[in-house]
Amino acid sequence: MKEIILVGLNYRTAPVEIREKIAFPEETLTHYLKALKGLSSLTEGLILSTCNRVEIYAATDTPEVGVEEIKGFLSVQHQLPLPAFEETLYVLKGEELVRHCFRVASSLDSMVVGEPQILGQIKEAYRMAHATKATSTLLNKLLPRAFSVAKRVRTETSIGNRAVSVSFVAVELAKRIFAHLEGREVLIIGAGEMCELAAQYLVREGVSTILVSNRTWERAVALAERFKGEAIPFSELGRALLRADIVITSTDAPNFVINKDMVVDILKRRKNHPLFFIDIAVPRDVDPQVNSIDNIYLYDIDDLQEVAAANIKGRQQEASRAEGIVAAAVEQFCRWYQSLEVIPTIIALKEKMERIRQKEVDKMLVSFPNLSARERQAMEDLSKTIVNKILHNPITLLKKANENADGEPYVDTVKKLFSVETE
């Protein structure tokens, strides 16, 4: 029977230095999905890659082999020796995996509990996997069910109302750096969802100017216009750094956007006026060596965990209610999964017994050709009653075991006793 497995790492198990090396760029994710689909032991696959986690979900007939192939896949695709990151990986199966998936989609496993971005990210990961034909029966059931659970958590609890995104936490950190943000100039590098959220929060805090720089000029202009800011060409990033008090950066660039030499030069031209960087990109946009420069302060996404932890206390009660929704959904999904084997076994058992019954009745009818129609029907009815009585206990036991999610041993026993095969 096929089993779903998960191999992954997240902000709890791996520092950003590892996560950025294992991350999959969104623009090339289809390429990686095709490579994942090509692994011999896997029949389905999905890649979830965000700033806080990289997880590969897969279906396989051989879980142990599948796990090792996925580890090798991560190593080969990122050209990174497995020992360099293997200790940061976790492997999940069965009920534990289902619970984890539902909690991730519901933002109960996020750095900032209740943040809304993760649901959109996992939906996009599923959309791409489905479009690549990398998913089938199991993942096509698991992921939509996870989305349904996340929706219930949002509508039946207040966890979303009290949530703060990573972008919000970045702004909270900026408020710690400065007593207030009124009158400050902020440079946002990137024009994606996290940058847009950061801009929203900064406007609420009263910043005087928002500068936006992005590789795609049109997107920079659109974001700047929305918040009555100023778009800066990416080629003139140095000019923007001269003006800014705070820099929040979140691009998809594979390499550093800001390096140490650039910042040293800018700082001289700023006459050593302090500059604060908040780098929420994975891979990181700002070279960590920048933090060694006097009057330069750099925070990356892992530094946000401290601020996030302070915001969690007010959401614990809502999180507990959400966990109850998840637990009920996990039980329901596991019951469905177990039925994948139980129901075909029951059907196969009935069909085999019917074939045997019909064959024996046909023999009797040949031996007694002069039976009346009424007598023939009586023989049919009697044989069906006998078969149903014989099958009653095995089928009842299988159904009851399926309800308790422990039907697998009984399925194997019935198959052996009655020589039943299922697809």
The mean per-residue pLDDT over the stretch 80-84 comes to 96
Beta bridge partners of 298: 277
pLDDT tops 60 at residue 162: no
What does each C-alpha distance from 44 to 56, 136, 143, 391 come to in angstroms? 10, 6, 12, 35
Q: Are residues 77 and 223 in the same domain?
A: no
For residue 131, give the CATH number of its domain.
Answer: 3.30.460.30
Determine the Cα–Cα distance for residues 171 and 200; give it in Å rounded to an integer.
Answer: 10
Query: Is 51 an active-site residue?
Result: yes
Q: Are residues 182 and 301 in the same domain?
A: yes
Q: Are residues 150 and 180 in the same domain?
A: no
CA angle 142, 146, 147 (to 5 degrees): 125
Q: Are residues 188 and 65 in the same domain?
A: no
Q: Are residues 111 and 226 in the same domain?
A: no
Domain total of the chain: 3
For residue 230, give the CATH number of its domain.
Answer: 3.40.50.720
- On whether residue 117 sits in a domain, the answer given is yes
Domain termination residue (choose one: 112, 139, 162): 162
- Please tell me which of 121-135, 184-198, 278-292, 397-411 the model is most confident about, judged by mean pLDDT: 121-135
Tokens of 225: 């216009």
Determine the Cα–Cα distance for residues 171 and 274; give it in Å rounded to an integer.
Answer: 17
The per-residue pLDDT for 405 is 56
The per-residue pLDDT for 140 is 95
Are 59 and 158 a contacting pair, CB within 8 Å?
no
Q: Are residues 197 and 58 in the same domain?
A: no
The per-residue pLDDT for 315 is 66
- On whether residue 385 sits in a domain, the answer given is no
Are 189 and 247 a contacting pair, CB within 8 Å?
yes
- On whether residue 327 sits in a domain, the answer given is no
pLDDT tops 70 at residue 250: yes
Q: Are residues 178 and 288 in the same domain?
A: yes
Task: Return the SS3 of 134.
Answer: coil
Catalytic residue among 51, 101, 195, 334: 51
**Which residue range is the domain that position 279 belongs to?**
166-306
- On whether residue 206 sits in a domain, the answer given is yes
Contacts of 43 (CB under 8 A, 6+ apart): 2, 58, 59, 60, 61, 136
Determine the Cα–Cα distance for residues 104 and 18; give it in Å rounded to an integer.
Answer: 20
pLDDT per residue over 277-304, tens digit each? 999 898 999 999 999 998 898 988 888 7
- Report the amino acid identity of residue 286: V
Q: Are residues 45 and 179 in the same domain?
A: no
Q: Are residues 86 and 194 in the same domain?
A: no
pLDDT tops 80 at residue 149: yes
pLDDT per residue over 348-380, tens digit each? 888 889 899 999 999 888 888 888 989 889 998
Q: For 216-220, 231-235, 272-276, which range has the lowest pLDDT when averaged over its residues? A: 272-276
Quick one: the chain helix, strand, coil %, rounded to 5?
60, 15, 25
- Predicted TM-score (pTM) of the model is 0.73
What does each C-alpha distance from 212 to 192, 218, 232, 237 come to in angstroms? 11, 11, 6, 10
- On whether residue 25 sits in a domain, the answer given is yes
Contacts of 375 (CB under 8 A, 6+ apart): none
Q: Are residues 113 and 219 in the same domain?
A: no
Of 110, 109, 135, nearest in space to 57 by CA: 135
Contacts of 294 (CB under 8 A, 6+ apart): 272
Tokens of 102: 């539902």
